[in-house]
Every structure is written in structure tokens, then in C-alpha cells.
Amino acid sequence: MMLAIFDIGGTRIRGTLSPAPGQLGPVNEAPTPRDDFNAFATALAGMSAGARGVAISIAGCIDPETGRMRIANIPCLDGRALAEDLAAELGLPVWIGNDADCFALAEAGSGAARGHRTVFGVILGTGVGGGLVIDGRLVTGAGGFAGEWGHGPVQDSRPLGRDVPRMTCGCGQVGCLDAIGSARGIEKLHRHLSGQSLRSEEIVAGWQSGAAAASETVAIWLEIMAGPLAMVLNVVGATAVPVGGGLGRALPLVAALDKAVAARRLWPQEGVICPAALTVEPGLIGASHGGWGALC
């Protein structure tokens, strides 16, 4: 038995067949039809030959009550009960997971958090996101928003005694971690503090080399991010927190975040927050675990 597994992006569809949870066959690609649902379904059908079901990782939120998608970058899918509509078109059962949720499933099933009962996967990339997996099963919550720790007006406006503006987030709120803790967010923070326009990679490199301005930016970034993440981990009781996304590839930054969070937790153990192990195809691997768990 095979499942067809897809990672759907705004420009490309990546697809493969999975013979078992976490196992992938050769990966194929096709352009993403953004404005034509029939063309979208046809693209998936072309890569699903011989499959007994379909599992999808996609950037967007799925309401677990209605199954309807909220997705900004693929208009033909926005507002659809996508799993139901695709099942009707493909004649196969369909499971769909948010990309951050699939990241958490991948790390819990095959990656850095394998063997842990409660896993909170953290994304520090273009945005700040996350996913919660307990006993191998994804927790989605009301509206499908469980794990989305990047949203909510929680930003400290005077970290380490420095005035830092509470930035407007893409979700419409002011003071979300998504607006300041992401790769673009740390760039805005550094520009505010130092007047320098640097890429996130340059800021982290400067911090590692001891540059004063970059060191201040990272210290304040850690102060802003560590408290809210410590509270999340107190609430969910995660024993493994793999970190993905662009900032997650900066291993010393992840280690510093782990130390800062441990100092603020009721359970002050270090080594809980760690770099993600699956840097290649985490979306497909996570969709594989989600699909096999839900459909088989």
C-alpha cells in the first residue's frame, strides 16, 4: 500500500509516494495552479497513480470543524473544504496538515524529538509558528490554530531597558512575536536599535564574532522571545522542542535560546530546545506521518 504525499507551496508542488510512515520515494515537482482548482486537482492526480490515499502539507490554516482552508497565496484553495473537495475529485481519502504542524510531526516521528511523548515544534523563519504533537498525534485545537505561539499581543516593549516598538503583525494585531521574532523581525529590530540594515544571517554572524551592535540585538531578541516560549512550554509540558526555519539553522542561536528559556521555566532543564534534525523534505516527511496515522 502506498500513500501519495504532497508539499504544496505557492509556486511549486512537490510530491512522492510513501510506503510507510516517514519513508519517501523519488520526489517529483509541478507548478502550483494558483487560480484553477480543477488544474490543481489534476496536478495531484498525475502524481497519485497507484496510491490508496493522499496526505498534504500546506501553508495555511484548516478549521478542524468545517475543513475549510484559509490560505493567502493559492486563491483557488482559499475558503474551500479542501480535503472533501479533493477526495471527490481524486476518489481517494485525503488528509491535510498545516506546514508547521507537519514539521512538528516529522520531528516527532523521525527527527530530533523521536521517542518523546510531548513535542512542540518551533518555526523561526519568515514567520514564527509551531505545532504540538502528543503521543504521536497532532493537536490542532479550535480553528486549527493550536501551536501558533507567534500571534497574540505579548511583546515586551522595554526589554533590557531599551525602548522597542510593538510592531504591527500581518494578522492585524500589534505586539506579536511573529512581527519581531522572525528573520525579517530581527532585521527590523536591529535597524531600530543600531540604524544598520543587515540580513538576519549577518546579524547572527556579527553576534557570534562579538560585534557590539549585533550582540545587543540578539540579547534583546532573546529577552523578547524567551519569556513567552517558556510560558508555552510550562503549559504544554513539552520535553523536546525542535527548531526549524532560517534562524533555526543558526545552531549557537538555538543553544542561546534554549539556555534563556530554561532559566525562565518552572522546569529549568537545558537541552530541551534543539535544532531540527530533518532539514530535507520536512513537509513531505510530516505529511507522511500525518497521512499514515489518519488514513491507515
Over the stretch 19-39, which tens digit does the pLDDT of each residue have? 999 999 999 999 999 999 999
Please write the tens of the pLDDT for every residue from 205-234.
Answer: 999 999 999 999 999 999 999 999 999 999
Mean pLDDT of 79-108: 96
Q: What is d(CA 226, CA 210) in angstroms, rounded to the nearest whole number?
A: 21
Phi, psi angles (nearest 5°) of residue 266:
-70, -30
Number of residues that make up the chain: 296
Q: What is d(CA 150, CA 129) in angstroms, rounded to the nearest whole number?
A: 5
Please write the tens of the pLDDT for every residue from 151-205.
Answer: 999 999 999 999 999 999 988 999 999 999 999 999 999 999 999 999 999 999 9
pLDDT of residue 144: 84
Confidence grade of residue 141 (pLDDT, cut at 50, 70, 90): confident
Mean pLDDT of 83-107: 96
Q: Which of 172, 212, 207 is nearest to 186 (CA)?
A: 207
Q: What single letter denotes the amino acid at residue 211?
A: A
List the strands of the sheet with 273-275, edge to edge: 137-139, 128-134, 118-124, 241-244, 273-275
Q: What percent of the chain has pLDDT over 90?
A: 91
**What is the SS3 assignment for 68?**
strand
Q: What is d(CA 236, CA 258) in angstroms, rounded to the nearest whole number?
A: 16
Residue 105 confidence (pLDDT) above 90: yes
Residue ranges of domains in the chain: 3-98+280-295, 112-275
pLDDT of residue 11: 93
Please count the CA atoms within 13 angstroms of the CA of 244 that sit on its side-chain side. 27
With residue 88 as reference, give the H or E element that holds it.
helix 82-90
Residue 274 confidence (pLDDT) above 90: yes
**Alpha helix locations (H) across 111-153?**
none
CA dihedral 296, 143, 231, 216 (to 10 degrees): 100
pLDDT of residue 214: 98
Confidence grade of residue 117 (pLDDT, cut at 50, 70, 90): very high
- Domains 3-98+280-295 and 112-275 agree in fold: yes
Residue 72 confidence (pLDDT) above 90: no
Confidence grade of residue 64 (pLDDT, cut at 50, 70, 90): confident
Residue 84 confidence (pLDDT) above 90: yes
**Fold of the domain spanning 3-98+280-295:** Nucleotidyltransferase; domain 5 (3.30.420)
pLDDT of residue 1: 85
Mean residue pLDDT of the chain comes to: 95
pLDDT of residue 170: 87
β-strands 94-98, 54-58: how paired? parallel
Residue 85 confidence (pLDDT) above 90: yes
Alpha-carbon distances of 213 from 59, 171, 181, 219, rounded to whole Å: 34, 30, 17, 10
Confidence grade of residue 112 (pLDDT, cut at 50, 70, 90): very high
Q: What is d(CA 43, CA 107) in angstroms, rounded to the nearest whole number?
A: 28
Q: What count of other Cβ atoms lies within 10 Å of the Cβ of residue 92?
A: 18
> Homologous superfamily of 112-275 in CATH?
ATPase, nucleotide binding domain (3.30.420.40)
Strands (E), the chain: 3-8, 12-18, 28-31, 54-58, 61-62, 69-70, 94-98, 118-124, 128-134, 137-139, 241-244, 273-275
